[in-house]
Amino acid sequence: MSLPADYHMHTPLCRHATGEPGEYAARAVALGLPEIGFSDHSPMPQDNFDSWRMNLDKLDEYVAKVRRAQKDFPQLTIRLALEADYLPGYEAWIRDLAARHPWDYFIGSVHYVSDDWAVDDPQKVSEWKHRDARQVWSVYLERLAMAAETGLFEIIGHADLPKKFGHGPPPDCAPLCAKFLNAAKKSGCAIELNTAGLRKNCHEIYPSREILQLAFRTGVPITFGSDAHAPEEVGMNFVEAVRLAQEAGYRQCCRFARHKRQFVPI
């Protein structure tokens, strides 16, 4: 099986990843990956927004690091991207970021269901005790649909992230999930198979088999991402992810160059 591109990986500039881009690239070459993309956590307009993203004054350094890896690894296609947080009201900021560099793609991710709580934050996992899981999932899926509708993102990241610590989606959230996937289809946005979920309490790829099957029936394209925060995580569990995609019906995935989409067989 030839492996697909790994489009989701971080750098130490986000303050919670280790290893330089060159080390991630070397790992990708060793695994025989054809292509990777760096998609570090985007800066927010205010640097103290949280503690797990790059500050705005690091953005140029980030781009320079990725460019350096591109030069050092000419045998590997390396894309320049960002994982941008989607919160309602931040559309203009994301557009501002998009205009700053010649990005290949943006992953739009919803981590925040309110201005001060990211559902996947390990420092704030106790917050789940005070929240109604159904309410969290509703807001999360509504925000995913909004993110897809903006047209600002080529890919929507880890589409069922609230399951990370074991809080699966309530069954009555299915219509909201369908609403999100229809929005993705309409705006031509892909979703990713993100293997980081296998390394978390949920022990499952994001998104679940059920969501992926519905995505296929809806006509939403896919990409693959390890969400690597260390070089050894590059391409992790990709054989399993490709198998899951194929079982859901997929025969191709997408790649992006300067926001232009191309389909490749899997």
> Which residues here bind Zn ion, judged by CB under 5 A?
83, 109, 227
Quick check: 103 and 81 in contact, CB under 8 A?
Answer: yes
Residue placing its CB nearer to Zn ion in the complex, 84 or 254: 84
Minimum distance of Zn ion from residue 111's CB (angstroms): 6
Residue 199: both structure tokens together? 């390394």
Residue placing its CB nearer to Zn ion in the complex, 17 or 244: 17
Residue placing its CB nearer to Zn ion in the complex, 42 or 109: 109
Burial class (CB in 10 A: 0-12, 13-18, 19+), 199: middle
Minimum distance of Zn ion from residue 83's CB (angstroms): 5
Residue placing its CB nearer to Zn ion in the complex, 55 or 186: 55
Quick check: 112 and 84 in contact, CB under 8 A?
Answer: no
Distance CA 128, CA 133 (A): 7
Nearest to 43 by CA among 78, 75, 90: 90
* 96 φ/ψ angles, rounded to the nearest 5 degrees: -60, -50
Q: What are the distances in angstroms from CA 19 to CA 9, 11, 73?
A: 11, 7, 16
Residue placing its CB nearer to Zn ion in the complex, 186 or 200: 200
